[in-house]
Structure 1
């Protein structure tokens, strides 16, 4: 029987990756897991992995290119690298709203600054200056300003006034930001989704950025509703 291989592409995290590798390899089930090593990928290069688990390509474009090519060679990638191009937070908020799933009110903003070569004549379609009063009238205050493509809690600002919003916006450079209604929450849940049917809502502590093992943290009704929403999205 040939051995199947699972490859992990990871960043700085040291919790999930080694635990996953140890669990898979400890089962002795004809499957081994290991970290992928790459450096200069040919367009016709075969992929030695049946499955690739990607934890960092949203920050490393070369890894994303490698993963797309690996899919062409027959590998299965989690998460799909082709979805990344549409996976911005503004599109996500717009999509689930169209689906009838509740979302914080969200506005996508023009960038504060632009790369070299983009001049004022390049931006003739933009309304300027921005109507900050109208913007916060929609989202309300406080609100959350964050990178539309970001993750890992980077470039996230909670703003309580228009002045705070403008000061934070002025720091964002060439990032495309969204402003989002701030929701005071009683419970914070993240869903782990495997395929389109296997969904586990997990309690999350955003202040300390960690998952909490508590199996009955949701009422049956709320748990069913969250799983239903996650299934619709997936």
Structure 2
């Protein structure tokens, strides 16, 4: 059985994962390697029995390939069909509803909108203005984290300590819908 690892700029996990799988699995015919892609014919059979995906949320081609691989019988860990389920606000709301302790979180509207999207003042008539920044900061506490509500990879993530830093960071977010979240001092950081 061949296991593929699809990853980005991570430096420690990928080689450790591949080495560990190869060390433990070789006697059983289980091997792991980095996935290598360069154009995917629709008739291409599955190259891997399992693919561990850690990057398709950032690269659309990888996501398309992984969906095709699933149809060919590959098990994909980190389901490519759920990539849009990385909505941090919804996921936090869902976790809270299920009884999981979550940081205080606020969904914020975009600072601006792409020029190719026809947004008028009427399109935004339901938004309250001005935003009550002080009240939102008081709710989540200081420091706080400002980050896009979709996506990952630590892009456009800001740790803010006061209203001035929040507004400065928010002004740089452009068309990204953002969440403002309570900063949690952690003893240990684990990612899944």
SS in 1 for 2:89: helix
Ranges in structure 1 where 5+ consecutive residues have no aligned partner: 193-234
Higher relative CO (CA 8 A, sep ≥ 6), structure 1 or 2? 2
Q: Which residue of 1 aligns with 2:190?
A: 190
Q: Distance in 2 between matches of 1:101 and 1:25?
A: 36
- After superposition, what is the alpha-carbon deviation per residue over 1:91-118, rounded to whole angstroms, capped at 9, x for unaligned? 1210111011111110111111222222
1:6-55 CA deviation, whole Å, 9 max, x = no partner?
11111122322223223333433212212222222234432121000112
How far the C-alpha of 1:128 sits from its partner, in A, is 3.4
Aligned twin of 1:20: 17
Residues 173-219 of structure 1: CA deviation (Å, up to 9, x unaligned): 2222110012344x224265xxxxxxxxxxxxxxxxxxxxxxxxxxx
CA offset at residue 135 of structure 1? 2.1
d(CA) in 1 for partners of 2:173, 2:57: 19
1:161 to partner: Cα distance: 1.6
Other structure's SS at 2:70 match: helix
Distance in 1, matches of 2:180 and 2:22, equals 44
1:75-133 CA distance string (max 9 Å, x none): 11111112221122111210111011111110111111222222324434433332323
Give the distance between the partners of 2:109 and 2:43, measured in 1 at CA: 39
Contact 2:86 2:151 (8 Å CA) reproduced: no
Match of 2:3 in 1: 6
> Which stretch has the larger CA shift, 176-185 or 72-81?
176-185
Map 1:86-105 to 2 at 5 A.
Answer: 86-105=85-104
- Worse-superposed segment, 6-15 or 128-137: 128-137
Q: TM-score under structure 1 normalisation? A: 0.72
Match of 1:53 in 2: 52
| Match of residue 69 from structure 1 | 68
Paired residues for 1:21-170 under 5 Å: 21-26=18-23, 27-118=26-117, 119-120=119-120, 121-170=122-171
| Alignment correspondent of 1:177 | 178
- Distance of aligned partners of 1:11 and 1:29 in 2 relative to their CA distance in 1, 3 Å threshold: same
Q: Secondary structure at the match of 1:178?
A: strand
Task: Normalising by structure 2, report the TM-score.
Answer: 0.86
Runs of 4+ deviating beyond 6 Å: none
CA distance in 2, matches of 1:128, 1:136: 16
Q: Distance in 1 between matches of 2:37 and 2:184?
A: 42
Name stretches of at least 5 consecutive residues in structure 2 with no aligned partner. none
CA distance in 1, matches of 2:143, 2:11: 34
Give the secondary structure class of the aligned counterpart of 2:114: coil
